[in-house]
Structure 1
């Protein structure tokens, strides 16, 4: 069953399904209630400007009829799992948009790390919102999380680093192509 949410013609969240709610409770907040987000504008929950812009572009193209739907592959990892997913975004009646995410592949992660977070004045690491690669400032390359942990020694200080999200060059190009007219 997909994890699904819908927005209305004004980009306000109007519905989440039971699968989405269960996922939210298991991964973010066991006491989460949909009333916390229903009625709010979707874009308020997407902090990264580039990511927000891509989704807004997709929504605009769907509303004007340029495409029927978009299929977006992405990662949705947790501390103990690696999840490969696909989101299908399509127009629904009344100018609304549905976002349905499907789990394609899941595997356990064998990372056991510290439980204390970095101090606020410590630098954050950049992570791609789609593929979860980490930007290595020294080599100026995007690398897989496992490689980043080995090479960049983030966990050796006994604290989890702060993470800021963005988009890597490969995902940016793939998304540009996916929103371009065919």
Structure 2
């Protein structure tokens, strides 16, 4: 399954293809159907500033160099871990994003995420790329984090603040033999 979208140089979504609508319906996102998304800004759908900055830098790099950017990331739902691959290429005066599913694993218990206010005392960070969590003790996969006794009920509701961890930011921003992109990452662990 591929989810494809094209943005112009101002990051306005110009076209959608592949399994976009199927993916939106399967994930209870009827408001994200192509008919509702085309013509809107990509930034409407990227919540945190570090992920937004990463995507802004990628768009600029792809438009300036015409060199593709490819990276692996996670796009999980409450009951599934989705291991994805993103391929970003220049197409005309815009940028084409092509996400493909590499594999899917069932997650148990189900984990639900909501956005947490930065002003609350304890902040759990979630990387937008690898989906690891950081509660101030380091970045961990959700399973090991839960097994440390943080929760013990069947379904888990976590309030998180999204960001991009340093490891993911480094791996996406660095191309061997080329200048590194913007490095303003959230390295606080």
Q: TM-score interval w.r.t. the shorter chain?
A: 0.7 to 0.9
- Structure 1-normalised TM-score? 0.83
Q: Please say if residues 136 and 152 of structure 1, whose CA atoms lie closer than 8 Å, have aligned partners that are also in contact.
A: no
Find the counterpart in structure 2 of residue 86 from structure 1: 85
Offset of 1:28 from its aligned partner? 3.4
Find the counterpart in structure 2 of residue 45 from structure 1: 45
1:161 paired residue among 149, 158, 163? 158
Give, in whole Å, the separation in 1 of the partners of 2:40 and 2:116: 31
Higher-strand-fraction structure: 2
- Structure 2-normalised TM-score? 0.80
Does 2:104 match 1:106?
yes
Q: Secondary structure at the match of 2:38?
A: coil
Q: Please say if residues 25 and 31 of structure 1, whose CA atoms lie closer than 8 Å, have aligned partners that are also in contact.
A: no
Instruction: Rate the CA distance shift 1:67–1:24 in 2: closer, same or farther, 3 A.
Output: same
Find the counterpart in structure 2 of residue 20 from structure 1: 20
Instruction: Rate the CA distance shift 1:118–1:173 in 2: closer, same or farther, 3 A.
Output: closer
Give, in whole Å, the separation in 2 of the partners of 1:112 and 1:61: 37
Instruction: Rate the CA distance shift 1:158–1:111 in 2: closer, same or farther, 3 A.
Output: closer
Structure 1 residues 1-182: aligned runs within 5 Å: 1-30=1-30, 32-64=32-64, 66-93=65-92, 95-112=93-110, 123-137=122-136, 139=137, 141-154=138-151, 156=153, 160-178=157-175, 181=178
Q: Secondary structure at the match of 2:139?
A: strand
Give, in whole Å, the separation in 1 of the partners of 2:150 and 2:102: 30
Give, in whole Å, the separation in 2 of the partners of 1:180 and 1:163: 36
What root-mean-square deviation, in Å, do the aligned CA atoms of Structure 1 and Structure 2 show?
A: 2.9
Q: Any idea what the Cα deviations from partners look like across 1:22-77, whole Å, max 9, x if unmatched?
A: 1011113246432322111112321211111111111111112x242111110011
Q: Secondary structure at the match of 2:19?
A: helix
Instruction: Rate the CA distance shift 1:158–1:87 in 2: closer, same or farther, 3 A.
Output: closer
Q: Please say if residues 57 and 179 of structure 1, whose CA atoms lie closer than 8 Å, have aligned partners that are also in contact.
A: no
Q: Any idea what the Cα deviations from partners look like across 1:141-173, whole Å, max 9, x if unmatched?
A: 101100111115145598612122111121122
Gapped runs of 5+ residues in structure 2?
Answer: 180-189
Give, in whole Å, the separation in 2 of the partners of 1:118 and 1:96: 31
Instruction: Rate the CA distance shift 1:122–1:30 in 2: closer, same or farther, 3 A.
Output: farther
